[in-house]
């Protein structure tokens, strides 16, 4: 089979793969993006669209800083991507809540926020606690349920339309001449001189650099080029309602309202393997909680449910690494593919293309799982 | 509330569902029939009891099929099956738990909303194939069968100028019925290709096994001709025009472009199986090329690929009310066998006379299916501004652009531009969406697939979800 | 546009946008409105286009109305009842639902 030559091959057309592919081409590399067209929902088409900081990085302060850097870069990043493509991402730096029900949850949240502040390397973890009354004042259009006891608030958090984000990345990538190949399932990777030979049943490809961002397939593909990147699936079920007027212009872990006015609720955490069914029992738990927070939503029509698989490393923190055995091969995976999209596209290409080292970046190497 | 348990739950009380209920009750099964319509009879015999009772002369005029159907409804009502109407099925779980909601507001607390079954028979019938043309969302543009439902179930008929457009036996039937009811049809835009009859001729001998259908068809054509309805052939495009309402229909025929005034435009491109529930349950489906639709893969007893789930009637393959009824009997016999109420030999014995009749009733299908083969030009609109997804307002051009961006499956396109995300759950756009993607990629819809169907297959409120048992 | 053929049956009156409409039992709300000459049912959810009944069989969701205070009711599936209060469906439907 003939092969097609390029500078960089990215394997995986999820949000991480395409944000990197877009960034790489923007940084001057020619890029082919290979993607297995599958019917199963990838995480990137199932997620909640939060640009989220406040609970991230427990036990790894460098990750918390990385998340803050990412969210702080989001406004600039989204503006330039929108300008370039003419599409709307519906990103808003709304600030985000974690809303508590009952005193026990509130106490646990207070303690968690305090721990995060203690761990913070510069002591500036910007999350505050709000009383129920303070929270209600910030939400003049929607009444809180009786069980709401308070909330934590972080000004960095925001929301984006995750599906628009994905589409816009594709547009931006292709506009800059990127070569997107859906329906290309990478089955084998081989060392090829100083570069790599990547094989799919339809076509072979060659490149000097290779980025593996293949969601749940990252472990298997990374293995082919000497990297051990453990990831496993975790199912999350999500619900979406009909459109309604703008009542809740904030981000929270379990409830958000889209730019179109649809409410979304989610997401469950289930270890059910590679399977994306929805189940009424779990959906009821998610919605019951949402209705305890905002009882007035009771009459909204539910129009859709779905489930997707999170891509989780053992400590749920990202992996960024270059193969020691085969330099030029990189693996990237994260459970915050949306939140980190700004840095994945605008910053990581410097590391991949120019070998730039960011401070303490080594904490993200998967060798941390070997101890 | 406790979840009531049944041997068999039948979804749909059309000819197929009613027949299955009667036969399975005859074998002593405990049966529940659910239907979202307020009355039994299915699409063809909507509100038939009311019609017979309150508009008897019109009922009689509808002929022998209707009096026979009235008999079936009576047998169904007396067969001892539990029957809940006005209830929509929105979810079925793997454990064969069927979840419903009441359609009328404020009824939910009166009865259980979940039921458990040993077997489920899906008999939800067919729906009209969407026929997207420019302007088809305007008030005054309707599916052709909608007008038939209005006439039969409510005694309501069009007034003003009526234009019919499309092809298929139901279009002819409804046109003649409108004429009978005194409605003036100002134009009939026949979208069937002019060589269709020639293509169908080889199937004529088989169709002659049930000559009554052909006689009926010829009678309808004659009636249209003699009543002076202007029939236009060689139609290439149709556009509904108006601002708040339909005012005009503009069309291109072999004679050039014409514009006619219209208060009502009735569209028809045949009917297709309603696969929402079989898709939800993950039953295997196949592409039926001749009629350009998906249908569940069934064995000769109506069993799907999912254990415990069978199908009868038009939602398996569109075959008309007689065949639907017979397939309901057959599926019920098989259910009785599977539950141990009937031996295999008894089942086969009882089924054999039904099968003979079934064969006869199916004899005219190849002729009709070839005569009215759906035309791609009426499924994949040429005009890029034509709305495909009526709920989320997505047009042909947006879909094509998204495919060009690399989204090669309906789910991927949907995720990018929301086509199929609205209230109708993709019922009105899914087929068109697959056809457009296939057209853009120059492959068959069979290789493109269909939107993934998930619960709720009809919207429910969040309150209804949390209060379901 | 539509008209009613004469028929027997128990008379029912319903309220549509403040107007009193006479009809008979056993009809769906959608049929009753069409039979009384009403064509406009709702505004589309995305851009507010005028919409009306399309399928009359529960498939298209174009016939959604607000019935007795509840929005999103599929009016081609619901029978009329004496005194029913019916309104066109506006978008978005929760404007005054939820103030604190
Ligand atoms: C329910 C849910 C809610 C979430 N909410 C949020 C949130 O609010 N904010 C946030 O930041 N993150 C959220 N996430 C996480 C986020 O969605 C993921 O971090 C992100 O989508 C991961 O993207 P990915 O590209 O790594 O993986 P995926 O989206 O899984 O994509 C992997 C891609 O690789 C392709 N691929 C796999 N194998 C091969 C192969 N051999 N050859 C070629 N291609 C291959 C696949 O086809 C797929 O397209 C959520 C996740 C879930 C499940
Ligand atoms: C308006 C119309 C007129 C027709 N006229 C003729 C004719 O004159 N002659 C002819 O041969 N054929 C006619 N047909 C075709 C004919 O309807 C079918 O061949 C026949 O009715 C099929 O019977 P069935 O039992 O399979 O389904 P149907 O009769 O369609 O019955 C299906 C039932 O399932 C119910 N249902 C669907 N989904 C759900 C759900 N989620 N929950 C609960 N219940 C549900 C529906 O309310 C319906 O009552 C007509 C079709 C239509 C739409
Ligand atoms: S008119 Fe189509 S659902 Fe009521």
Query: Which residue minimizes the CA distance to atom 2 of ligand 1?
Result: A47
Asked if B398 contacts B364 with a C-beta cutoff of 8 angstroms, the reply is no
What are C96's two structure tokens?
């005054």
Beta pairing class for B394-395 and B141-143: unpaired
Asked if B222 contacts B120 with a C-beta cutoff of 8 angstroms, the reply is no
Q: How many CB atoms lie within 10 A of CB A357?
A: 10
B459: confidence class by pLDDT, cuts 50, 70, 90: very high
| Chain-chain contact of A141 with C70 (C-beta, under 8 angstroms) | no
From the list A142, A143, A245, the residue facing C95 with the nearest CB is: A245
Within a domain: C5: no
| Chain-chain contact of B55 with C7 (C-beta, under 8 angstroms) | yes
Please state the domain extents for chain A. Answer: 3-81+162-229+315-369, 96-154, 232-312
Q: Across residues B144-149, what is the average pLDDT?
A: 96
Ligand 3 centroid to Cα of residue C28, in Å, is 11
| Helical pair A162-175 and A15-26, crossing angle rounded to 10 deg | 30
* A-contacting residues in C 28-57 (Cβ below 8 Å): 45-46
The region of weakest confidence among B74-78, B321-325, B462-466 is B462-466
Asked if A163 contacts A260 with a C-beta cutoff of 8 angstroms, the reply is no
For chain B, percent of residues with pLDDT exceeding 70:
99
* C-contacting residues in B 374-403 (Cβ below 8 Å): 390-393
pLDDT in tens, B344-392: 999 999 999 999 999 999 999 999 999 999 999 999 999 999 999 999 9
* C-contacting residues in B 169-228 (Cβ below 8 Å): 181
Q: Which of C71, C67, C32, C68 is nearest to C53 (CA)?
A: C32
DSSP class per residue in B166-226: EESHHHHHHHHHHHHTTPPEEEEEE-S-TTHHHHHGGGHHHHTTSHHHHHHHHHHHHHHHH
Contacts of B428 in chain C (CB under 8 A): 59-60
The answer, yes or no, to whether residue C95 has pLDDT greater than 60, is: no
The DSSP 8-state label assigned to residue C88 in this structure reads E
| Chain-chain contact of C53 with B142 (C-beta, under 8 angstroms) | yes
The answer, yes or no, to whether residue C85 has pLDDT greater than 60, is: yes
C96: confidence class by pLDDT, cuts 50, 70, 90: very low
Report the pLDDT value the prediction gives residue C98, as an integer from 0 to 100: 42
Ligand 1 lining (C-beta closer than 6 Å): A 11-17, 34-36, 38, 42-44, 46-50, 52, 185-186, 213-215, 217, 221, 236, 238, 266-267, 308-311, 333-339
Query: Which residue minimizes the CA distance to atom 52 of ligand 1?
Result: A47
Pairwise pLDDT comparison (A143 vs C1), residue with the higher score: A143
Task: Report chain A's mean pLDDT, rounded to a whole number.
Answer: 95
Asked if A14 contacts A123 with a C-beta cutoff of 8 angstroms, the reply is no
What are A188's two structure tokens?
């084998």
The region of weakest confidence among A54-58, A187-191, B330-334, C91-95 is C91-95
Ligand 1 centroid to Cα of residue B373, in Å, is 42
Distances in Å between the Cα of B247 and the Cα atoms of B171, B257, C1 are: 22, 17, 11
Which domains are delineated in chain B? 5-127+272-342 (3.50.50.60), 130-269 (3.50.50.60), 380-448 (1.10.10.1100)
Question: How many beta-carbon pairs under 8 angstroms link B with C?
Answer: 155
Instruction: State the CATH number of the domain containing residue C50.
Output: 3.10.20.440
The interface predicted TM-score of the complex, written ipTM, equals 0.95
Contacts of B407 in chain A (CB under 8 A): 182
Kindly report the CATH class assigned to A3-81+162-229+315-369. alpha beta
Report the pLDDT value the prediction gives residue B33, as an integer from 0 to 100: 98
The answer, yes or no, to whether residue A224 has pLDDT greater than 60, is: yes
Within a domain: C18: yes
Which CATH number is associated with domain A232-312? 3.30.9.10
The answer, yes or no, to whether residue C99 has pLDDT greater than 50, is: no
The region of weakest confidence among B89-103, B112-126, B204-218, B439-453 is B204-218
CA-CA distance, C3 to C11, in Å (whole number)?
A: 17
Most confident of A26-40, B294-308, B450-464: B294-308
Total of domains in chain C: 1
Task: Report chain B's mean pLDDT, rounded to a whole number.
Answer: 94
Ligand 2 centroid to Cα of residue B46, in Å, is 8
- The closest ligand to the CA of C33 turns out to be 3
C8: confidence class by pLDDT, cuts 50, 70, 90: confident
pLDDT in tens, A193-218: 999 999 999 999 999 999 999 999 99
Q: Which of B143, B188, B191 is nearest to B164 (CA)?
A: B188
B partners (3+ CB pairs within 8 A) are: A, C
How near does any CA of chain B get to the CA of A46, in Å? Answer: 9
Within a domain: C1: no
| A248 at C interface, C-beta within 8 A | no
Ligand 2 lining (C-beta closer than 6 Å): B 11-17, 34-37, 42-44, 88-89, 123-126, 145, 148-149, 170, 173, 313-315, 320-321, 324; C 57
The answer, yes or no, to whether residue B442 has pLDDT greater than 70, is: yes
pLDDT in tens, A35-55: 997 666 688 988 999 999 998
CA-nearest residue to A288 within chain B is B466
How near does any CA of chain B get to the CA of C51, in Å? Answer: 5
The answer, yes or no, to whether residue B263 has pLDDT greater than 60, is: yes
Q: How many CB atoms lie within 10 A of CB C49?
A: 17
Report the pLDDT value the prediction gives residue C97, as an integer from 0 to 100: 43
Per DSSP, the three-state class of A157 is coil
Report the pLDDT value the prediction gives residue A177, as an integer from 0 to 100: 97
pLDDT in tens, B333-355: 999 999 999 999 999 999 999 99
Within a domain: C94: no
The answer, yes or no, to whether residue A99 has pLDDT greater than 80, is: yes
Determine the structural domain holding residue C79 and report its residue range.
11-86
C100: confidence class by pLDDT, cuts 50, 70, 90: very low
The answer, yes or no, to whether residue B209 has pLDDT greater than 60, is: yes
How near does any CA of chain A get to the CA of B157, in Å? Answer: 33
Beta pairing class for B87-92 and B97-102: antiparallel
Contacts of B449 in chain A (CB under 8 A): 39
Report the pLDDT value the prediction gives residue A371, as an integer from 0 to 100: 67
* B-contacting residues in A 66-125 (Cβ below 8 Å): none
**Residues ≥6 apart with Cβ < 8 Å to B253:** B189, B232, B233, B234, B235, B236
| Chain-chain contact of C35 with B37 (C-beta, under 8 angstroms) | no
Asked if B152 contacts B162 with a C-beta cutoff of 8 angstroms, the reply is no
The answer, yes or no, to whether residue B57 has pLDDT greater than 50, is: yes
Determine the residue of A11, A14, A173 to mutate for testing ligand 1's pocket, defined as the one with the most ligand atoms within 8 A of the Cβ atom: A14
Span between the terminal Cα atoms of chain B, in Å: 7
Report the pLDDT value the prediction gives residue C7, as an integer from 0 to 100: 78
Within a domain: C26: yes
Q: Which of B391, B377, B319, B437 is nearest to B166 (CA)?
A: B377
Q: Across residues B139-150, what is the average pLDDT?
A: 97
Contacts of C40 in chain B (CB under 8 A): 139, 244-245
Determine the residue of B18, B34, B42, B65 to mutate for testing ligand 2's pocket, defined as the one with the most ligand atoms within 8 A of the Cβ atom: B42
Q: Tell me how far the alpha carbon of residue C12 is from its chain's centroid.
A: 15
* C-contacting residues in B 8-27 (Cβ below 8 Å): none
Task: State the best of C43, C67, C96, C97 to mutate against chain A, taking most chain A CBs within 10 Å.
Answer: C97
A319: confidence class by pLDDT, cuts 50, 70, 90: very high
Report the pLDDT value the prediction gives residue C91, as an integer from 0 to 100: 79
Report the pLDDT value the prediction gives residue A105, as an integer from 0 to 100: 97
The answer, yes or no, to whether residue A6 has pLDDT greater than 80, is: yes
Determine the residue of B21, B43, B47, B314 to mutate for testing ligand 2's pocket, defined as the one with the most ligand atoms within 8 A of the Cβ atom: B43
| Chain-chain contact of A261 with C92 (C-beta, under 8 angstroms) | yes
């Amino acid at each position: 089979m003939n092969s097609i030559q390029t500078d960089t091959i990215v394997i995986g057309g999820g949000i991480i793969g395409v944000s990197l592919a877009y960034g790489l081409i923007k940084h001057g590399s020619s890029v082919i993006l290979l993607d297995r067209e599958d019917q199963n929902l990838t995480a990137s088409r199932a997620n909640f669209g939060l640009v989220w900081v406040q609970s991230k990085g427990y036990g790894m302060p460098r990750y918390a800083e990385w998340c803050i850097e990412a969210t702080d870069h989001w406004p600039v990043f989204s503006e330039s991507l929108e300008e370039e493509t003419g599409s709307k991402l519906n990103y808003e730096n709304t600030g985000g809540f974690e809303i508590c029900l009952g005193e026990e949850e509130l106490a646990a949240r207070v303690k968690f926020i305090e721990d995060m502040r203690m761990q913070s390397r510069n002591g500036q973890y910007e999350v505050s606690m709000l009383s129920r009354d303070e929270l209600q004042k910030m939400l003049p259009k929607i009444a809180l349920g009786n069980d709401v006891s308070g909330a934590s608030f972080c000004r960095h958090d925001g929301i984006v339309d995750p599906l628009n984000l994905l589409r816009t990345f594709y547009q931006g990538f292709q506009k800059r001449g990127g070569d997107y190949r859906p329906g290309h399932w990478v089955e084998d990777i081989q060392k090829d001189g100083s570069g790599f030979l990547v094989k799919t049943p339809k076509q072979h490809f060659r490149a000097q650099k290779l980025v593996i961002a293949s969601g749940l397939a990252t472990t298997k593909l990374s293995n082919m080029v000497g990297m051990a990147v453990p990831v496993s699936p975790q199912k999350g079920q999500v619900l979406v309602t009909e459109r309604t007027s703008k009542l809740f212009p904030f981000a929270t872990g379990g409830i958000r309202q889209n730019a179109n006015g649809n409410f979304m609720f989610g997401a469950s955490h289930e270890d059910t393997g590679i399977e994306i069914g929805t189940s009424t029992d779990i959906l009821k738990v998610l919605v019951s909680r949402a209705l305890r927070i905002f009882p007035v939503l009771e009459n909204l029509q539910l129009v859709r449910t779905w489930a997707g698989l999170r891509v989780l490393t053992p400590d749920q923190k990202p992996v960024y690494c270059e193969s020691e055995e085969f330099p030029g091969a990189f693996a990237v995976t994260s459970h915050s593919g949306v939140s980190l999209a700004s840095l994945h596209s605008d910053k990581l290409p410097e590391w991949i293309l120019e070998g730039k080292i960011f401070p303490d970046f080594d904490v993200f190497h998967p060798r941390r799982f070997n101890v | 509330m406790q979840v009531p348990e049944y041997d068999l739950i039948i979804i749909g009380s059309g000819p197929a569902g009613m027949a299955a209920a009667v036969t399975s009750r005859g074998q002593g099964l405990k049966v529940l029939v659910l239907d979202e319509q307020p009355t039994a009879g299915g699409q063809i015999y909507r509100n038939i009891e009311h019609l017979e009772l309150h508009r008897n002369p019109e009922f009689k005029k509808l002929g022998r099929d209707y009096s026979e159907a009235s008999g079936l409804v009576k047998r169904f009502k007396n067969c001892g099956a539990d029957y809940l109407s006005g209830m929509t099925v929105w979810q079925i779980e793997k454990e064969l738990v069927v979840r419903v909601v009441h359609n009328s507001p404020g009824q939910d607390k009166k009865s259980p909303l979940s039921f458990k079954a040993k077997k489920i028979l899906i008999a939800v019938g067919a729906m009209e194939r969407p026929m997207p043309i420019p302007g088809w969302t305007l008030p005054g543009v309707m599916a052709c069968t909608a007008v038939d439902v209005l006439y039969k179930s409510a005694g309501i008929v069009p007034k003003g100028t009526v234009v019919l457009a499309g092809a298929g036996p139901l279009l002819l039937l409804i046109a003649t019925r409108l004429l009978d009811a005194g409605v003036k049809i100002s134009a009939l835009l026949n979208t069937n290709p002019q060589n269709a009859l020639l293509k169908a001729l080889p199937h004529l001998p088989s169709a002659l096994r049930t000559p009554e259908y052909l006689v009926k068809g010829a009678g309808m054509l004659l009636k249209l001709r003699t009543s002076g309805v202007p029939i236009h052939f060689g139609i290439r495009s149709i556009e509904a025009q108006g601002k708040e309402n339909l005012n005009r229909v503009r069309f291109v025929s072999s004679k050039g472009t014409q514009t006619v005034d219209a208060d009502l435009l009735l569209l028809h491109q045949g009917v297709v199986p309603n696969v929402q529930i079989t898709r939800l349950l993950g039953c295997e489906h196949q592409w039926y090329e001749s009629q350009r639709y998906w249908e569940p893969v069934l064995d000769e007893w109506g069993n799907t690929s999912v254990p415990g789930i069978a199908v009868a009637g038009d939602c398996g393959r569109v075959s008309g009310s007689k065949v639907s009824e017979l397939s309901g009997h057959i599926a019920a016999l098989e259910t009785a066998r599977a539950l141990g109420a009937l031996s295999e030999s008894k089942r086969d014995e009882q089924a054999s006379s039904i099968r003979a009749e079934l064969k006869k009733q199916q004899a005219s299908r190849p002729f009709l299916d070839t005569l009215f083969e759906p035309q791609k030009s009426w499924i994949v609109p040429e005009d890029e501004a034509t709305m495909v997804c009526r709920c989320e307002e997505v047009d042909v051009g947006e879909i094509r652009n998204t495919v060009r961006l690399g989204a090669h499956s309906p789910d991927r396109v949907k995720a990018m531009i929301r086509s199929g995300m609205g209230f109708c759950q993709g019922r009105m756009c899914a087929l068109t969406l697959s056809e457009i993607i296939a057209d853009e990629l120059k492959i068959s819809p069979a290789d493109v697939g269909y939107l993934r169907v998930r619960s709720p297959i009809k919207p429910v409120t969040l309150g209804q979800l949390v209060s379901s048992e | 546009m539509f008209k009613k053929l004469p028929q027997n049956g128990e008379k029912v009156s319903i309220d549509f946008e403040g107007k009193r409409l006479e009809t008979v039992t056993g009809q769906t709300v959608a049929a009753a409105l069409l039979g009384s000459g009403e064509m406009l049912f709702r505004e589309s959810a995305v851009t507010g286009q005028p919409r009306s009944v399309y399928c009359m069989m529960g498939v298209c969701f174009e016939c959604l109305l607000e019935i007795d205070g509840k929005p999103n009711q599929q009016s081609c599936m619901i029978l009329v009842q004496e005194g029913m209060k019916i309104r066109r469906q506006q978008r978005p439907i929760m404007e005054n639902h939820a103030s604190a």
